[in-house]
Structure 1
Amino acid sequence: MARGDGDWVVRCERGHVHWGRFGAAGLLPVHDGHVLLQHRSRWTHGGGTWALFGGARDSHESAVEAALRETGEECTLDTSLVTPFGVIGVDHGNWSYETVIGSIDSMPTVERASRETRAAAWIPVDEVDRLNLYPPFAKAWTTLRTALVRPVLIVDAANVMGARADGWWKDRAGAAARLRDELAKVAAFPGITPFDVAFPEILFVVEGAARGIGSVDGITVVDAPGSGDDTIVDMARGRLDAPCLVITADRELLRRCEKVGAQVSGPRTLLSLLA
């Protein structure tokens, strides 16, 4: 497991030649309706086009680690300022490319830092299509532009608690706190379209005797003032600028959330991720 052990050409199952023995990854930083793109140097594959900063993954790297490292090697962006919130991949069988999308609180001036980069620029989202794009990025952009806001996961705590027999009926507040703490340990979540893997904002809705347990790092606990269902629907309706997934098995709540445009899934989707 050495730095650079992924730097090699491979032929995928579709017959295409790609760079990256273990696949490749790129970074798409987002701020206030702008994305950071790389103008590729003339000598590179697709030279003169615009695309993501990125490159080959090493054997020991996650997509996020590879995307951040490659971007830091190719431009002067301080990648520690980027907060990844999702990954969208393209799988060619024995080779894949994963785009890591993340937010950043400002748009610092970014300069080239390697021969692969001709220039870097913050491009308004609505103007990306006007650029001469690297063909694979142009194809992916249709999906990527729908994923430029951090996703939201809304958990119907009472319903998820009721899906497992851990004595929740004896101590609702204690059971809710246990579920909250287990959820806080989950690093990534599948199933929030269009992301393959997401690092969402998590809203944990409690009601009745479970109210007052408080938030923890990574989990915002919302005390429903009345009906938990009504609170969840209101929150889902208010977050539809972002991909939003509601976790519940309540059929009426599922129907109401779908009606306002949220994605829905049952408790098993969540419980399968918990330790």
Structure 2
Amino acid sequence: MTIEPLAPGEPRRPHGPRDPGDAWVVAPTGERYWGRFGAAGLLAIDAERGVLLQHRVSWSHFGDTWALPGGARHEGESACDGALREASEEAGVPDAAVQPRVLSVFDLGYWSYTTVVGDVVRPFEPVISDPESRELAWVPVADVTEYPLHPGFAASWQGLRSLLDVRPAVIVDVANVMGSVPDGWWNDRAGAASRLISRIAELAARGVPASALELPEHTWYPEWTAVVEGQARSVAAAGAVGVDVVPAEASGDDAIAATAQRAVAAGRSATVVTSDRGLAERARDAGAAVRGARWLLDLLG
């Protein structure tokens, strides 16, 4: 979280407004916060190198400190899109290089800052592509507090740090969820599976509330896996953005149980979506939580 109240007599940034969002919000107590529509920053996590930090230029508020690439959101822009855009502008983060995992929001009512915690899925080297960056560096998680941090980021770091070890994954028994809705799926199993997976992809893009996954109170972006079997296996070739589609070579239940075991072994907080009692028992034995088909259908809306 990077909070930038303007101190009395402090000059404005040396460049002019780039967007209507590039303006100060004045608090009832007189402090000013950058971003008419709020602000957002990216906490990118590379499994090998740590987190990406930005060494701020001296003319910025609390200059020469370290924080996250981020800045003012555009009007109508989501916090996630704003954080990724700012990270691209300030640190050269390539499109699709980071997969959001969780959104952490600091909300004052009249202004908010959203930290997008995301996993690096395509390794990259950051590039100084904006005058607001003096230096960019991958910093091991354990070493972050050794740097002179921006006060706002320093205040939020421990809370953000606690989220880094939480990695939710949802594994969907597609056949079971399809079968819970008598909409004629039996006439076209592949088509019904494709439609369901498309809806899951939409859910993957907008995130899941913490209450649905019994996780810390934030918006989460789980790793989604849809297991298909029988005639529906053909949809795996088409794939889906944000959803890993796994065709079961034999028993769908066996494939789902094995996927759950692998997820738990990899440190994921795994949830299996099925209303099949036998499979639910196997999933729990593997260390996964279980939700019925109605749970997913309610989330899909």
TM-score, normalised via structure 2 length: 0.73
Given that 1:37 and 1:120 are in contact with CA atoms closer than 8 Å, whether structure 2 keeps it comes out as yes
Given that 2:273 and 2:290 are in contact with CA atoms closer than 8 Å, whether structure 1 keeps it comes out as yes
Given that 1:244 and 1:263 are in contact with CA atoms closer than 8 Å, whether structure 2 keeps it comes out as yes
Moved more, 259-268 or 121-130: 259-268
Tell me, in whole angstroms, the C-alpha distance in 2 between the residues paired with 1:147 and 1:246. 22
RMSD: 3.4
Tell me, in whole angstroms, the C-alpha distance in 2 between the residues paired with 1:208 and 1:233. 17
Tell me, in whole angstroms, the C-alpha distance in 2 between the residues paired with 1:63 and 1:135. 21
Give the superposition deviation at 1:27: 1.5
Q: How has the CA–CA distance of structure 1 residues 225 and 68 changed in structure 2, closer, same or farther, with 3 Å as cutoff? A: closer
Q: Kindly provide the CA deviation profile for residues 198-220 of structure 1, in whole angstroms up to 9, marking residues without a partner as x.
A: 2x543211234544443323243
**Residue type of the alignment partner of 2:174:** A
Give the superposition deviation at 1:254: 4.4
Q: Which residue of 1 aligns with 2:12?
A: none
Q: Aligned residues: percent identity?
A: 45
Q: Secondary structure at the match of 1:214?
A: helix
Tell me, in whole angstroms, the C-alpha distance in 2 between the residues paired with 1:235 and 1:5. 47
Q: Which residue of 2 aligns with 1:126?
A: 142
Confirm whether residue 153 of structure 1 aligns to residue 179 of structure 2.
no
Q: Which residue of 1 aligns with 2:200?
A: 183
Q: How has the CA–CA distance of structure 1 residues 128 and 273 changed in structure 2, closer, same or farther, with 3 Å as cutoff? A: same
Given that 1:29 and 1:104 are in contact with CA atoms closer than 8 Å, whether structure 2 keeps it comes out as no
Select which of 83, 86, 89 maps to 2:104: 89
Tell me, in whole angstroms, the C-alpha distance in 1 between the residues paired with 2:111 and 2:167. 27
Q: Which residue of 2 aligns with 1:228?
A: 252
**Residue type of the alignment partner of 1:217:** A
Q: How has the CA–CA distance of structure 1 residues 170 and 244 changed in structure 2, closer, same or farther, with 3 Å as cutoff? A: same
Select which of 226, 232, 252 maps to 1:204: 226
Q: How has the CA–CA distance of structure 1 residues 236 and 68 changed in structure 2, closer, same or farther, with 3 Å as cutoff? A: same
Give the superposition deviation at 1:157: 0.8
**Residue type of the alignment partner of 1:55:** G
Q: How has the CA–CA distance of structure 1 residues 7 and 265 changed in structure 2, closer, same or farther, with 3 Å as cutoff? A: farther
Tell me, in whole angstroms, the C-alpha distance in 2 between the residues paired with 1:232 and 1:14. 55
Tell me, in whole angstroms, the C-alpha distance in 1 between the residues paired with 2:113 and 2:286. 33
Confirm whether residue 166 of structure 1 aligns to residue 183 of structure 2.
yes
Select which of 20, 29, 34 maps to 2:44: 29
Q: Which runs of 5+ in 1 are unaligned?
A: none
Q: Secondary structure at the match of 2:54?
A: strand
Given that 1:14 and 1:93 are in contact with CA atoms closer than 8 Å, whether structure 2 keeps it comes out as no
TM-score, normalised via structure 1 length: 0.78
Q: Kindly provide the CA deviation profile for residues 150-180 of structure 1, in whole angstroms up to 9, marking residues without a partner as x.
A: 7533111122112322123455444323323
Give the superposition deviation at 1:103: 1.5
Q: Which residue of 2 aligns with 1:248?
A: 274
Confirm whether residue 113 of structure 1 aligns to residue 125 of structure 2.
no
Confirm whether residue 20 of structure 1 aligns to residue 72 of structure 2.
no
Tell me, in whole angstroms, the C-alpha distance in 1 between the residues paired with 2:30 and 2:256. 47
Q: How many residues align?
A: 271
Tell me, in whole angstroms, the C-alpha distance in 1 between the residues paired with 2:127 and 2:165. 20
Given that 1:247 and 1:267 are in contact with CA atoms closer than 8 Å, whether structure 2 keeps it comes out as yes
**Residue type of the alignment partner of 2:274:** T
Give the superposition deviation at 1:272: 4.0
Q: Which runs of 5+ in 2 are unaligned?
A: 1-16
Q: Kindly provide the CA deviation profile for residues 87-118 of structure 1, in whole angstroms up to 9, marking residues without a partner as x.
A: 4122333322222224153342533631x333
Q: Kindly provide the CA deviation profile for residues 102-151 of structure 1, in whole angstroms up to 9, marking residues without a partner as x.
A: 4153342533631x333211112232233233343234334544347975
Q: Which residue of 1 aligns with 2:157?
A: 141
Q: How has the CA–CA distance of structure 1 residues 203 and 15 changed in structure 2, closer, same or farther, with 3 Å as cutoff? A: farther
Q: Kindly provide the CA deviation profile for residues 34-68 of structure 1, in whole angstroms up to 9, marking residues without a partner as x.
A: 22101223443333332101011121322233223
Tell me, in whole angstroms, the C-alpha distance in 2 between the residues paired with 1:179 and 1:93. 37
Q: Secondary structure at the match of 1:126?
A: helix
Given that 2:89 and 2:129 are in contact with CA atoms closer than 8 Å, whether structure 1 keeps it comes out as no
**Residue type of the alignment partner of 1:233:** A
